[in-house]
A = this chain, B = another copy of it.
Amino acid sequence: MKVGVLTGGGDCPGLNAVIRAIVRKGCFHYEDQFVGFLEGWRGLLEDKSMPLDLASVGGILPRGGTILRTSRTNPAKKADGLDKCAATLQKHKVEALIAIGGDDTLSVAQKLHAKGVKVVGVPKTIDNDLAGTDYTFGFDTAVNIATEAIDRVHTTAEAHNRVMVVEVMGRDAGWIAMYSGIAGGADVILIPEQPFDIEKVAETIRLRHARGRYFSIVVVAEGAKFSTDLDPRHDAPVLQSMVKDEFGHAHLGGIGNILAREVERLTGFETRAVVLGHIQRGGSPSAFDRMLATRYGLGAIDMVHRGEFGCMAALRGNKIVSVPLADAIAKNRTVDQEVIDVAYGILDKLSAEKEAVEK
């Protein structure tokens, strides 16, 4: 069977492990042939491809990024985009396509499937917030990187009696903040799911001081929000709009910096922010993510041969199962009760109580 493979959306540690697993099982067990389309859906729109065989996936398992490169190109937003994609597949005599990507990529996959293309999806989001699957690859690596950064920042906070604010990824869901915050021993964790009261944050830090801990670590997801308007003189949204320049670039660095300023203002303790940014999604995947990505890849090629099209591979408990693409794309998966309970149990009391109350 001739199978096409592409990777779309933001890069994510483990993409190469998925590709490798697809190709190895396909070659060893099914006698498949493969073609890799380059830079996500752009590869289908512009007919850019590379051959994929055992040799081309040799040595890629430990590498970050994706040998097929990626882009955010969306053919559904271009005239005849989907038809062009289908035509390219036909030209290459591709009988089935495996699309690896986030909800954008998978929603295109679903539309192509509706047009009769045989598509199987593999979910990818470093934020771990895709409905329909328990864990996504890349997340564990991001959490490890963020945790290591929090560890580093800890020694500085302690040496200087400082509050350190660490901003991690997570626009709509606080998975990375929660996991890295708990693993890094944060004193306060702020997530998009729960708008936070800056006074409560300050109070938690003051109480730590009162019991002799002269430093604190605050982990904040990039999408976290104040629950109340700030004093207009230093209102965060105002500041945020202020730094959009005429070219439309935002320069503020986001919630981490605003939060550091407010914590310092309210507590009087020296406070600094670190914004981790892109280093969270690059580099070699953790062992966990390599295993998980391998399982997704094996699951996807099996689905192709079982004819389960219009579906994506998903992790449920310790099994890879097949779920309809439509279900997966439908909604974001926010931090679950089990994780909230852990934060409630381990964080400094006031900080935890607040979360408990508001959840």
Contacts and interface: CB of A to CB of B under 8 A. Distances in A.
A182 B291 contact: yes
Nearest to A63: B155
Interface in A1-25: 7, 10-11, 15, 21, 24-25
B245 A159 contact: no
Nearest to A143: B287
A340 interface: no
Interface stretch (A77-85, A107-115, A189-197, A271-279): A271-279
A54 B249 CA distance: 35
Given A70-B160, A183-B287, A279-B149, A246 B272 contact: no
A69 B161 CA distance: 8
B64 A213 contact: no
Interface in A308-357: 317-319, 336, 338, 341-342, 345-346, 348-349, 352
Interface in A110-161: 134, 140, 143-149, 151-156, 158-161
A126 to B, nearest CB: 11
A273 B286 CA distance: 24
B243 A252 contact: yes
A354 to B, nearest CB: 13
Interface residues of A, number: 101
Q: What is the oligomeric copy number?
A: 4
Given A149-B279, A180-B287, A287-B180, A155 B247 contact: no
Contacts of A156: 11, 64-65, 278, 281-282
Contact of A291 (B61, B242, B342, B352): B342
Contact of A11 (B10, B155, B286): B155
Contacts of A210: none
A25 to B, nearest CB: 5
A3 to B, nearest CB: 15
Contacts of A276: 279
Given A183-B290, A298-B345, A70 B159 contact: yes
A182 B28 contact: no
Given A152-B279, A153-B282, A251-B258, 10 more contacts: A10-B160, A62-B185, A64-B155, A65-B158, A69-B160, A146-B287, A183-B287, A239-B245, A286-B288, A318-B336
10 contacts: A24-B346, A64-B155, A65-B159, A71-B160, A143-B287, A154-B282, A183-B287, A183-B291, A184-B290, A252-B252
